[in-house]
């Protein structure tokens, strides 16, 4: 993960996609996140004097606040820059300005290409804080939450993502399979994860003896699941074809009836924000099975661990 070390992974030192963390680094990060969560004060000066630039093209509550608090609670500093990236000046120029001033760049972008270009030109680590294709920081908090429920050895545990095969589903597939999980993604026809992500996930699943299944049947998907996960039907920048998407996704609502098909001890996860009454219901979000706020809390701990490992 040292940007200056020639490790075999392409984007050494960045978190452009989930796969920039090797499997060993992923385990180490999750262990560190748990240690930070247990004793946050032990890490109170761990990023003394370090600074982060946060470039956000899209809105955020959780990602912004957890990165800002992660930096502040470890003795560092962050500065937030909202607006389009690469419009006022080229992305590569932004990267080469910022790396003179800060120790890490955190970027939330529309295009994955923007993250890649920032990483290619920046001499400091670049963290993907969500693009159209990935949400790797979310996946770290998700698997941390699942570990805290079912133990550190997640081999054979099943997580089912129900809904749009988009950024959050992609990252879950690429991260949870490597921990040995059975990952199932249940989408309406035409909303499956990108073909290249499916291929990638099948490949990396072998590292951890995990597996990936794609289905268009939500009931089949959640049967036997330890964790049921959903996300909005209209992602940021994707608010098109509203009546069609509502019709296509309505059988995929995670409601009490669908949750009842999962294991009795199954937990409910959602990256948030949620559109209550669309992809899920009040009853499920407020149920004893819901771990959505633990999951949101874990964003902070997982990203502290990530920052420590990158810096
Ligand atoms: N889950 C998540 O990334 O939330 P925000 O969009 O509020 O950052
Ligand atoms: N899929 C959602 C996730 C938000 C955290 C989006 O991209 O808007």
Q: How many helices (H) and strands (E) does the chain have?
A: 12, 9
E-strand ranges in 31-88 read 51-56, 77-82
- Check if the beta carbon of residue 134 is closer than 8 Å to that of residue 173: no
Q: Which residue has the higher pLDDT, 11 or 111?
A: 111
Whether the per-residue pLDDT at 161 is higher than 70: the answer is yes
Residue 213, phi then psi, degrees to nearest 5: -130, 140
Whether the per-residue pLDDT at 196 is higher than 50: the answer is yes
- Check if the beta carbon of residue 266 is closer than 8 Å to that of residue 289: yes
Give pTM, 2 decimals: 0.96
Whether the per-residue pLDDT at 118 is higher than 80: the answer is yes
Whether the per-residue pLDDT at 77 is higher than 80: the answer is yes
Q: Can you give the pLDDT at residue 116?
A: 98
Say how many Å lie between the CA of residue 58 and the centre of ligand 2: 10
Query: Does the beta carbon of 62 sit less than 6 angstroms from any atom of ligand 1?
Result: yes
pLDDT band at 272 (very low <50, low <70, confident <90, very high): very high
Lookup result for tokens 């951890």: 208
Task: Please give the structure tokens belonging to residue 139.
Answer: 């996946």
Give the separation between CA 130 and CA 62, rounded to whole angstroms: 12
Name the residues annotated as catalytic. 108, 135, 138, 231, 271, 299
E-strand ranges in 42-86 read 51-56, 77-82
pLDDT tens string 205-238: 999 899 999 999 999 999 999 999 999 999 999 9
Say how many Å lie between the CA of residue 266 and the centre of ligand 2: 23
Q: Can you give the pLDDT at residue 91?
A: 98
Cα 223 to Cα 159, 169, 218, 261, 289: the distances in Å are: 10, 18, 9, 5, 16
Lookup result for tokens 């996860």: 269
- Check if the beta carbon of residue 284 is closer than 8 Å to that of residue 259: yes
- Check if the beta carbon of residue 52 is closer than 8 Å to that of residue 77: yes
Q: Can you give the pLDDT at residue 10?
A: 35
Say how many Å lie between the CA of residue 5 and the centre of ligand 1: 31
- Please state the rounded mean pLDDT for residues 160-171: 98
- What percentage of the chain reaches a pLDDT higher than 90? 96
pLDDT tens string 22-41: 999 999 999 999 999 999 99
Whether the per-residue pLDDT at 7 is higher than 50: the answer is no
**Residue-range domains of the chain with CATH:** 18-134+300-310 (3.40.50.1370), 138-296 (3.40.50.1370)
Measured from CB, residues less than 6 Å from any atom of ligand 2 are 130, 166-168, 231-232, 235-236, 271
- Please state the rounded mean pLDDT for residues 247-271: 98
Among 56, 232, 273, 295, which is best to mutate for testing ligand 1, by the most ligand atoms less than 8 A from CB?
Answer: 273
pLDDT band at 3 (very low <50, low <70, confident <90, very high): low
Give the separation between CA 196 and CA 177, rounded to whole angstroms: 15
Ligand 1: residue whose CA is nearest its atom 6: 60
């Amino acid at each position: 993960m040292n940007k200056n070390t020639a490790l075999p992974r392409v984007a050494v030192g960045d978190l452009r996609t989930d796969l920039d963390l090797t499997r060993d680094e992923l385990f180490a990060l999750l262990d560190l996140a748990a240690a930070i969560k247990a004793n946050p004060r032990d890490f109170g000066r761990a990023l003394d004097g370090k600074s982060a630039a946060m470039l956000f093209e899209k809105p955020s509550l959780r990602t912004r606040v957890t990165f800002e608090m992660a930096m502040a609670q470890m003795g560092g500093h962050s500065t937030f820059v909202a607006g389009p990236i690469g419009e006022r000046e080229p992305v590569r120029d932004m990267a080469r300005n910022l790396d003179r001033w800060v120790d890490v760049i955190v970027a939330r972008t529309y295009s994955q290409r923007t993250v890649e270009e920032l990483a290619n030109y920046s001499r400091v680590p670049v963290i993907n804080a969500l693009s159209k294709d990935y949400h790797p920081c979310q996946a770290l908090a998700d698997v941390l939450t699942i570990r805290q429920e079912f133990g550190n050895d997640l081999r054979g545990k099943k997580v089912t993502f129900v809904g749009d095969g988009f950024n959050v589903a992609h990252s879950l597939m690429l991260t949870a399979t490597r921990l040995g999980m059975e990952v199932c993604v249940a989408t309406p026809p035409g909303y499956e994860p990108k073909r290249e992500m499916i291929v990638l996930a099948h490949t990396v699943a072998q590292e951890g003896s995990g597996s990936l299944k794609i289905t268009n049947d939500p009931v089949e998907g959640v049967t036997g699941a330890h964790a049921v996960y959903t996300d909005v039907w209209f992602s940021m920048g994707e608010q098109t074809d509203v009546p069609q998407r509502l019709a296509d996704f309505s059988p995929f609502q995670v409601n009490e009836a669908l949750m009842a098909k999962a294991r009795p001890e199954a937990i409910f996860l959602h990256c948030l924000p949620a559109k209550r009454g669309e992809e899920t219901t009040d009853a499920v979000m407020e149920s004893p099975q819901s771990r959505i706020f633990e999951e949101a809390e874990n964003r902070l701990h997982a990203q502290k661990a990530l920052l420590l490992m990158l810096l």
